[in-house]
A and B are shown apart, each in its own frame.
Chain A
Amino acid sequence: MTTVTAPLPTATTRKRRSLASWTSDQLDLIVTPVLALILLILLVVVWTYSTFDLTTERILEPSQLARQLWQQLYVAFFSTVIVVAVAIPIGILVTRESAPKVKDTLVSVLGLGQAIPAYGLIVLFFVWLGQGPTTVIIALATFALLPVLRNTIVGLEQVDTSVIEAGKGMGMTGVQRLARIELPLAVPVIMAGIRTATVINVGMATLAFLIGGGGLGETINAGLKLNRPTAIFIGAVLVALVALLFDFLGGLAQRYLRPKGV
């Protein structure tokens, strides 16, 4: 598209401009805590005012919830480390000018990968590798790899090529351009990748219970199996709160840890 002609600022457009200066990324930092707060209030209200029968009380035993939360964060942490360590180098490699032209195909194949059911993937890894947290970690890492790699490639593509050309013109070598121009410019993309991987993994770790990997999914599942809607609700809200918290922290990090000038 060609040049955009901006209308002259009138009183109304100026007012609109100030509202328009909000981006959805910034609003995320408000909407996420607001939703989290609503869920937290609901959680407290339900927990305080509903009378638990013995079964529900057993399901919602605090020490058990703490153990499940720990299991959930443990597998999410290690799978995120794997995803980041694999996806970002691959993303950088395939977006090199000298790389074989596989990127467009890769991006569309990875797009199709969204349709892989995480549920099926976890179960197949279970069949292959047996029970335990390691299986969960590998399954989660495989699942999160696709979107993170895709975002990294697309993000690196958007780095302004004229800046790289300018680097070339200044006589920088390929390695120098990568280290001094492209990587610093790519930091926001990489951070977005880490955030996405964390949120996906913290969320998907809820399915770890399916193959004996623990996590807060156990509480939801116990509620489903024993027909205790209150336990289901509390389990679901806890899972949602954990995910919202990590997304919020990721959003903060993205906003405040980017290199100056980018």
Chain B
Amino acid sequence: MDGIVNWWDYLSSRWDLVGATLMETIIYVVTVTVSAGVLAIVTGILTRNRPFAKEMSLAIASVFLTIPSLALFTIFIPLVGLGFAPSFIALFLYAILPILRNTVTGLDSVDPSVLESARGMGLTKSQVLLQVQLPLAWPVMLAGIRVAALLTVGISAIATLVAGGGLGDFIKSGLARLPLPNSLEAIWTGVILSLALAFTIDVLLRLLGRVTTPAGVR
């Protein structure tokens, strides 16, 4: 109990710092998820009728997830320097696969006879895509976006090692000051706020899923 009280004291005596650091992680999550989402969804749509290109893009996206986080965060340093840039690039590369894979799965799982009927009803190809195929695939795509966002929360803690900020800052400073007072509290702050952020994102994206999924698909 003492530990929790101490931690709360630690947290409440520095809301400014906590808020600013949390904001840095949120910025990573939003920019990475949106940019990787756009690239992955566009790729998924463009390659939906080209099996080889589709499998190739999946294979390329999946190879990035094999590369260890510290390596991917640091490999671009000679090119782009320290800070936000190398962290963003690494997180972006990691986030592509979950969204791309679910976009592909979602679009593929739409029954071809449904698409045929839509064509038969006189819809153009782009209308079929926008009004039939994408809405049907959306719940699966959104699940991929959720995975990408959660992944970004977890991995972005590494950004602090390349001076990229974010909640990892608390873990780094806590580790550096061990066993001085407030060091353990700092580490827990980094871990617990990451999990709290992940939980919030999870709930928000589930809500978004409810709101944006057409009634007929649910």
Contact = CB atoms under 8 A, between A and B. Distances in A.
Contacts of A16: 51-52
A239 B75 CA distance: 10
Given A30-B59, A220-B70, A232-B74, A5 B178 contact: no
Interface residues of A, number: 55
Contacts of A240: 67-68, 71-72, 75
Contacts of A224: 74, 77, 161-162
Contact of B111 (A2, A114, A230): A2
B195 interface: yes
B78 A115 contact: no
Given A27-B56, A210-B175, A112 B202 contact: yes
A236 B74 contact: yes
Contact of A120 (B74, B194, B202): B194
A57 interface: no
Interface in B170-195: 171, 174-175, 178, 184, 187-188, 190-191, 194-195
A59 interface: no
B168 interface: yes
A120 B189 CA distance: 10
B213 interface: no
Nearest to A29: B59
B43 interface: no
B154 interface: yes
Contacts of B160: 119
B157 A117 contact: yes
B62 A20 contact: no
B151 interface: yes
A127 B175 CA distance: 9
Contacts of B190: 117, 119-120
B69 A115 contact: no
B51 A20 contact: yes
Interface stretch (A60-68, A172-180, A198-206): A198-206
Contacts of A207: 70
B66 A199 contact: yes
B112 interface: yes
B147 interface: yes
Interface in B92-148: 109-113, 147
A244 B66 contact: yes
B157 A119 contact: yes
B63 A115 contact: no
B1 to A, nearest CB: 18
B199 A112 contact: yes
B91 interface: no
A193 to B, nearest CB: 16
A89 interface: no
A206 B154 contact: no
A1 to B, nearest CB: 5
Interface of B: 51-52, 55-56, 58-60, 62-63, 66-72, 74-75, 77-78, 109-113, 147, 150-151, 153-158, 160-162, 167-168, 171, 174-175, 178, 184, 187-188, 190-191, 194-195, 197-199, 202
Q: Which 6 A-B pairs have the closest CB atoms?
A: A115-B198, A203-B68, A117-B157, A20-B51, A27-B59, A120-B191
19 contacts: A1-B111, A22-B51, A31-B56, A32-B66, A111-B150, A112-B198, A114-B151, A114-B198, A115-B151, A115-B194, A117-B158, A119-B160, A127-B184, A206-B68, A211-B175, A224-B161, A237-B75, A239-B71, A243-B67
Interface of A: 1-2, 4-5, 16, 19-20, 22-24, 27-28, 30-32, 35, 111-112, 114-121, 123-124, 126-127, 199, 202-204, 206-207, 210-211, 217, 220-221, 223-224, 229-230, 232-233, 235-237, 239-240, 243-244, 247
